């Protein structure tokens, strides 16, 4: 166990966090202290037809560049293992030799609407929700797999395996083709109670369980870095751990390892998450439930897929490209918070439809109340407010109100953003000391897998700590004002929802 004092020669756990917009490589010691960091950004392949894809070669190049930037290949300090966590629900077809047959189709891709409608008739939304814990949308992998089968029949006929990003990276790193339960439960093909591929869903969909890799527990050692990968990446041979899905790992890295604690991780999207000791399948079907990266646990989630991306795109469109969009947001929030004129503005941030909490792909985006005196900072502020209004709605769908919300991600570097969260949620907000929550969560899973701690929960208690000085409480004046704005925003939203159905 690593509860004893840690020396400078104790081995490191290297977390590999492959996200939607960047790959990060972060080395931690057994106490959760960051020792090294590297990052490589990349883009998705997009078009107006709803395509959102990534070339898996981009992932591998991103990993190599992030490793180089981290400097871990030159460390004299030993590396205990590599804990892998990646974006979820990617659909990547491989041939019998394990080679990609095309780009990976990512969760925000919306081209599978016909397959969503077909599955609704074949199986039924309620049946699928009860079996998989997922809503029937193209956010789940199954409709996109069926789209691939219909739209790319030549590729599908050569497909031996359907894998996600983590599966592909692990195969490249150690030559083993596996998937873990946390990733498998984002396909809509896994029964989240039995933890087996659902034969009824697969048969009705015309698919075989042989398309999917071997199942393992999240936080499992799945092999050892091959000598070829070691030479290519310039890092030493060590065990490889399948840590699991990025947002599940982020909740661990935020310390949300009990049902009492709720986390929100802000990245390309924002995700409200709460640990469950049994599957949570409320009748309103506003949330998703998946198998957690923690053993014998599930996680209830409200995913909002485009929040940070919307803010970044707005800044790029109005201000111009910026390497760090957060640096633009901070003065904009500060300026707008001092200007009461901005509060006649309302934003409906649904340019690409809505996932949680509305689950309406036809919901339109809009700016309401725009006047000649408004400036870009005012519009940017109301965009951020509108995103937080929807996160507040997600929190209200939880069965119990949290006493505090732990938040992570790039946006939470801004004290003004965190204060706005506290004011809009009406709940205190705290940050962890380590901002890279997904990487730290993966390291926690790695520490348990490598025997530093008996369980991941015990590892989290030792490795994750909150920054008590960062805790922010609702300001009474702003809390009351935001209640008024929230009510007005809800009235506008009701109009938009009715128009989307007409």
DSSP track, 408-427: EEGGGG-HHHHHHHHHHHTS
C-beta separation of 271 from 254 below 8 A: no
Beta strands in 349-457 (DSSP E): 366-368, 405-409, 429-432
- Distance, in Å, from the CA atom of 376 to the CA atom of 424, rounded to the nearest integer, reads 21
Burial (CB < 10 A; 0-12, 13-18, 19+), residue 178, is buried
* Dihedral of alpha carbons 4, 9, 11, 12, sign: positive
Residue 3's pLDDT is what?
Answer: 34
Residue 5's pLDDT is what?
Answer: 38
Six-digit token string for 316: 């790029």
CA distances from 231 to 16, 71, 236 (A): 17, 15, 8
Q: Is the peptide bond before 3 cis (omega within 30 degrees of 0)?
A: no
Six-digit token string for 428: 């205190």
Could you read off the pLDDT tens digit of each residue along the chain, which spans 502 residues?
Answer: 333 334 456 899 999 999 999 999 999 999 999 999 999 999 999 888 999 999 999 999 999 999 999 999 999 899 999 999 999 999 999 999 999 999 999 999 999 999 999 999 999 999 999 999 999 999 999 999 999 999 999 999 999 999 999 999 999 999 999 999 999 999 999 999 999 999 999 999 999 999 999 999 999 999 999 999 999 999 999 999 999 999 999 999 999 999 999 999 998 899 999 999 999 899 999 999 999 999 999 999 999 988 998 998 899 898 888 777 788 888 888 876 665 445 678 999 998 889 999 999 889 999 999 988 888 888 999 999 999 999 999 999 998 999 999 999 989 999 999 999 999 999 999 999 999 999 999 999 999 999 999 999 999 999 999 999 989 999 988 888 899 999 999 999 999 999 888 6
State phi, psi for 494 to the nearest 5 degrees. Answer: -60, -40
- Distance, in Å, from the CA atom of 299 to the CA atom of 286, rounded to the nearest integer, reads 14
Residues found in the chain:
502
State phi, psi for 315 to the nearest 5 degrees. Answer: -65, -40
What's the predicted TM-score (pTM) here?
0.93
* Dihedral of alpha carbons 104, 110, 112, 116, sign: positive
- Distance, in Å, from the CA atom of 353 to the CA atom of 365, rounded to the nearest integer, reads 8
Conformation bin of residue 344: beta by default, left when phi > 0, alpha when psi is -120 to 50: alpha
C-beta separation of 102 from 93 below 8 A: yes
Residue 6's pLDDT is what?
Answer: 40
Residue 9's pLDDT is what?
Answer: 62
- Distance, in Å, from the CA atom of 210 to the CA atom of 265, rounded to the nearest integer, reads 34
Helix intervals (H) in 160-297: 165-174, 181-184, 199-205, 227-233, 246-253
List, in order of start, the domains of the chain with CATH numbers.
12-246 (3.30.420.40), 248-306+397-472 (3.30.420.40), 308-396+476-501 (3.30.420.40)
- Distance, in Å, from the CA atom of 70 to the CA atom of 26, rounded to the nearest integer, reads 7
SS3 387: helix
Residues 6+ apart with CB under 8 A from 243: 15, 83, 84, 85, 218, 219, 249, 293, 441, 442, 445, 446
Give the count of beta carbons closer than 10 Å to the beta carbon of residue 34. Answer: 17
State phi, psi for 344 to the nearest 5 degrees. Answer: -95, 5
Using only C-alpha atoms, what is the Rg of the chain?
Answer: 22
Give the count of beta carbons closer than 10 Å to the beta carbon of residue 3. Answer: 11
Residue 8's pLDDT is what?
Answer: 53
Burial (CB < 10 A; 0-12, 13-18, 19+), residue 497, is middle
Q: 440-477: b or e for each residue (b if 16 or more CB lie within 10 Å)?
A: bbbbbbbbbbbebbeebbbbbebbbeeeeeeebebeee
Residue 478's pLDDT is what?
Answer: 86
Residue 229's pLDDT is what?
Answer: 98
Question: How far from each other are the two terminal CA atoms of the chain, in whole angstroms?
Answer: 61
- Distance, in Å, from the CA atom of 460 to the CA atom of 328, rounded to the nearest integer, reads 34
Residue 4's pLDDT is what?
Answer: 36
In the block, which residue shows the tokens 């990487």? 439
CA angle 464, 479, 394 (to 5 degrees): 60
Residues 6+ apart with CB under 8 A from 279: 133, 192, 193, 289, 298
């Amino acid at each position: 166990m690593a509860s004893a004092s840690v020396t400078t020669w104790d081995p490191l756990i290297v977390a590999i966090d492959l996200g939607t917009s960047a790959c990060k490589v972060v080395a931690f010691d057994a106490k959760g202290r960051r020792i090294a960091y590297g990052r490589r950004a990349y883009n998705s392949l997009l078009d107006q037809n709803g395509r959102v894809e990534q070339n898996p070669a981009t992932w591998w190049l991103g990993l190599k560049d992030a490793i180089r930037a981290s400097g871990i290949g030159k460390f004299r300090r030993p590396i205990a293992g590599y804990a892998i966590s990646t974006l979820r629900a990617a659909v990547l077809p491989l041939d019998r030799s394990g080679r990609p047959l095309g780009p990976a189709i990512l969760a925000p891709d919306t081209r599978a609407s016909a397959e969503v409608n077909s599955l609704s008739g074949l199986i039924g939304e309620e049946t699928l929700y009860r079996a998989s814990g997922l809503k029937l949308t193209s956010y789940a992998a199954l409709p996109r797999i069926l789209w691939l089968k219909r739209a790319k029949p030549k590729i599908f006929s050569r497909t031996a395996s359907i894998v996600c990003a983590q599966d592909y990276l692990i195969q490249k790193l150690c030559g083993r083709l596996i998937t873990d339960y946390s990733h498998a439960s984002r396909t809509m093909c896994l029964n989240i109670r039995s933890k087996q591929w659902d034969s009824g869903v697969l048969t009705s969909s015309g698919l075989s369980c042989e398309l999917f890799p071997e199942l393992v527990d999240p936080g499992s050692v799945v092999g050892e870095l091959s000598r070829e990968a070691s030479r290519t990446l310039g890092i030493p041979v060590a065990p490889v751990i399948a840590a699991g899905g990025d947002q599940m790992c982020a909740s661990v890295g935020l310390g949300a390892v009990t049902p009492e604690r709720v986390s929100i991780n802000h990245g390309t999207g924002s995700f409200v998450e709460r640990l469950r000791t049994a599957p949570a399948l409320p009748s309103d079907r506003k949330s998703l439930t998946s198998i957690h990266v923690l053993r014998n646990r599930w996680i209830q989630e409200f995913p909002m897929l485009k929040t940070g991306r919307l803010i970044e795109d707005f800044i790029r469109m109005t201000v111009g490209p910026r390497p760090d969009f957060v640096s633009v947001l901070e003065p904009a929030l500060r300026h707008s918070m001092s200007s009461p004129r901005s509060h006649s503005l309302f934003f409906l941030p649904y340019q690409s439809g809505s996932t949680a909490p509305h689950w309406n792909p036809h919901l339109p985006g809009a700016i309401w109340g725009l006047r000649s005196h408004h400036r870009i900072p005012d519009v940017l502020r109301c965009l951020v407010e509108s995103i937080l209004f929807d996160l507040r709605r997600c929190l209200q769908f939880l069965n119990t109100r949290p006493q505090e919300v732990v938040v992570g991600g790039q946006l939470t570097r801004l004290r003004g953003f965190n204060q706005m969260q506290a004011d809009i949620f009406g709940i205190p907000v705290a940050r962890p000391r380590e901002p890279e929550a997904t990487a730290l969560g993966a390291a926690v899973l790695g520490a348990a897998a490598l025997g530093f701690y008996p369980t991941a929960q015990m590892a989290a208690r030792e490795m994750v700590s909150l920054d008590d000085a960062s805790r922010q409480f609702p300001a009474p004046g702003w809390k009351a004002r935001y209640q008024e704005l929230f009510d007005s925003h809800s009235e506008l939203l009701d109009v938009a929802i009715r128009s989307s159905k007409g």
